[in-house]
Structure 1
Amino acid sequence: MERSQGGPMAGRTVLITGGTGGIGRATALGLASMGAHVAIIGRDHGRTEDAVREIRSTGGQADAFVADLSSQAEVRRVAADVLRSYARLDVLVNNVGGYWSTRHVTADGLERTFALNHLAPFLLTALLLDRLQQSDAARVVTVASNAHVRGRIDFDDLQKERAYSGSAAYGQSKLANVLFSYELARRLCGTSVTANVLHPGLVSTAFGGEDPGRAQQLLVPLLRPFMKSPRHGAATSIHLASDPDLHHVTGRYFAKCAAKRSSKGSYDESVAVRLWQASADLVGLTTPATAS
């Protein structure tokens, strides 16, 4: 596969989940314009191919992979496809995510918010980690949200079977993103791979539109004029994926392209380790991702 000869990301291969619209698509376009060879994972074949065509129309290099990442079988299949397609992988952007006001169950019998927002990036990162470590300086970038501040990891009811609310499920999944990123950074200490997490800001996208709650239906139209565009919302993801000054920066939380403090609970290492093991059990990883 040819790579662009110019740009600060020339020669780098970047995989972006949820790259068919919103922040993910804008991230793909931005990194491709910097010379990266971009691979997009999307759930819908038509939308994924459309995103790739847009990137190619601007002179960028892009490939499409189609998978529903709420399914662990699909995560494993697409990871195998990526490994067959690329001899090297320099950046993984865990961007895919969703919000549902009512409880949905995946093909694996898991609550969809937790499965897609947390377990999918956890499993995909683990499956691609060896290839990432073969790069001279790889990066794992995970898109979280400031909603993690209100999140709580309920180990007695991770799947929200007893009581479900969209905001509680989403907050838990976003806190899980932050805890995962910090624990991954600790486990990869001394390797060539960094792991950072970010809050993109309030961005005007179709996020949550599949199953919006009443409050969302009322508030989003009022807030939309004040929301960032997807291009501006992608700025921190692009920054973490590409900025040479972040070569050795790991285990940090970013917003507006700057390192920030995340919630107090997100720094609890005992919770992070417990979540890691629970996640490994749920995705069937007998050997969770660690530095090799």
Structure 2
Amino acid sequence: MRSVFITGSAQGIGHETARVLIEAGHRVVAHARDERRAAQVRASLPGAAAVLTGDLASLEGTRALAAQVTAAGPFDAVVHNAGVGGGASRREVTADGLGRIFQVNVVAPYLLTALCPRPARLVYLTSGLESAGRLDFDDLTLEKREWDGMRAYADSKLMDVVLAFAVARRWPDAVVNAVDPGWVRTRLGGPDATDALPDGAGTPVWLAVSDEPEALVTGRYLKHRVSLRANPAAYDPEVQERLLEVLGGITGETVAGDAAGGLATS
């Protein structure tokens, strides 16, 4: 039995990942944005060991969640699944003064990674749109440029891959990977999506608990258990370090580790 924490477990891929792992006999701690949604998760996932609450659109909320994760652990694996899409017609800003897409999709998993005890495995969910992402370090969240929600989303998903590869490099003793779950029929993916929910959850489940040799290789970008080539920017150690520096400046926290570890080159 493995112990796994999954962010964004109230619905979609995160909920399905939790359900499959629970049915397989693993200890799963789920997460919801607030207590109302947490009550729904407790009802739909009665086998969950716990359901933690924390608003990832808030630095304070994310810090509070990290404290709960630390108390509920240790965990063998953490799946950073939570995220918001790019459908907003205008740029939404959080109480912390950050673009909401950037804060939920990038800042929150970074802060949880920095504050929570290091698990043996980490999975960061991204999207195939990371291939269209661009990192403009002068305007990471489209504050200066004309707003384009899908551009902001694609950029955030590229940053998730960069973050995963950076953590893989800093923590060579952990198995750290980024996963494109596919275009999945969820509220985020929409009814026209091509992939079923079990397909989207399959790779995160596999990476979280499988002892197959292929599941234990770090520093990769995968879709449906197949290692693919990510956006070239993600493999650049200077890009990785710069993103970590930006996120460290925003949060005041660092992802400590051996910066001389092996680079992600898959």
- What is the TM-score with the length of structure 1 in the denominator? 0.83
- The aligned residue for residue 140 of structure 1 is 122
- The aligned residue for residue 149 of structure 2 is 166
Query: Do the aligned residues in 2 keep the contact of 1:29 with 1:55 (CA within 8 Å)?
Result: yes
Query: Do the aligned residues in 2 keep the contact of 1:18 with 1:24 (CA within 8 Å)?
Result: yes
1:23 to 10, 13, 28: 13
Distance in 2 of aligned mates of 1:39 and 1:248 = 22
Query: Do the aligned residues in 2 keep the contact of 1:129 with 1:289 (CA within 8 Å)?
Result: no
Distance in 1 of aligned mates of 2:258 and 2:28 = 25
Runs of 4+ in 1 over 4 A off after TM superposition: none
- 2:171 maps to 1:188: yes
Query: Do the aligned residues in 1 keep the contact of 2:113 with 2:255 (CA within 8 Å)?
Result: no
Q: Cα deviation per residue 1:41-87 (whole Å; 9 max; x = unaligned)?
A: 1113233222233222xxx343111111111111111111121233x
Counterpart residue type for residue 13 of structure 2: I
- 2:106 maps to 1:154: no
Distance in 2 of aligned mates of 1:76 and 1:44 = 14
| Map 1:1-292 → 2, pairs under 5 A | 10=1, 12-56=2-46, 60-86=47-73, 88-100=74-86, 101=88, 102-130=90-118, 132=119, 138-163=120-145, 164-189=147-172, 191=173, 193-207=174-188, 220=190, 223-224=192-193, 227-245=194-212, 246=214, 248-285=216-253, 287-290=254-257
User: Per the alignment, in what secondary structure is the counterpart of residue 255 of structure 2?
Assistant: coil
Distance in 1 of aligned mates of 2:219 and 2:157 = 15
Distance in 2 of aligned mates of 1:243 and 1:85 = 22
Query: Do the aligned residues in 2 keep the contact of 1:177 with 1:197 (CA within 8 Å)?
Result: yes
Flag the 1:269–1:96 CA change in 2: closer, same or farther, 3 A: same
Distance in 2 of aligned mates of 1:161 and 1:262 = 26
Distance in 2 of aligned mates of 1:44 and 1:232 = 27
Distance in 2 of aligned mates of 1:19 and 1:282 = 26
Distance in 1 of aligned mates of 2:65 and 2:183 = 30
User: Per the alignment, in what secondary structure is the counterpart of residue 38 of structure 1?
Assistant: strand
Q: Cα deviation per residue 1:206-257 (whole Å; 9 max; x = unaligned)?
A: 117xxxxxxxxxxx55x24xx2222221111111112212464100111011
- What is the TM-score with the length of structure 2 in the denominator? 0.90
Structure 2: gaps spanning 5 or more residues: 260-266
User: Per the alignment, in what secondary structure is the counterpart of residue 57 of structure 2?
Assistant: coil
Q: Provide the aligned length of Structure 1 versus Structure 2.
A: 255
Note the C-alpha offset of 1:22. 0.4
Query: Do the aligned residues in 2 keep the contact of 1:194 with 1:251 (CA within 8 Å)?
Result: yes
Note the C-alpha offset of 1:92. 0.5
Flag the 1:247–1:255 CA change in 2: closer, same or farther, 3 A: closer
Note the C-alpha offset of 1:291. 5.2
User: Per the alignment, in what secondary structure is the counterpart of residue 92 of structure 1?
Assistant: strand
Cα-Cα RMSD: 1.7
User: Per the alignment, in what secondary structure is the counterpart of residue 254 of structure 1?
Assistant: strand
- The aligned residue for residue 7 of structure 1 is none
Counterpart residue type for residue 147 of structure 1: L
User: Per the alignment, in what secondary structure is the counterpart of residue 89 of structure 1?
Assistant: coil
Flag the 1:291–1:40 CA change in 2: closer, same or farther, 3 A: farther
Q: Which is higher, the Rg of structure 1 or of structure 2? A: 1
Query: Do the aligned residues in 1 keep the contact of 2:6 with 2:28 (CA within 8 Å)?
Result: yes
Structure 1 window deviating more from structure 2 (175-184 vs 264-273): it is: 264-273
Sequence identity percentage: 37
Query: Do the aligned residues in 1 keep the contact of 2:168 with 2:175 (CA within 8 Å)?
Result: yes
Query: Do the aligned residues in 2 keep the contact of 1:95 with 1:143 (CA within 8 Å)?
Result: yes
Structure 1: gaps spanning 5 or more residues: 1-9, 133-137, 209-219
User: Per the alignment, in what secondary structure is the counterpart of residue 117 of structure 2?
Assistant: helix
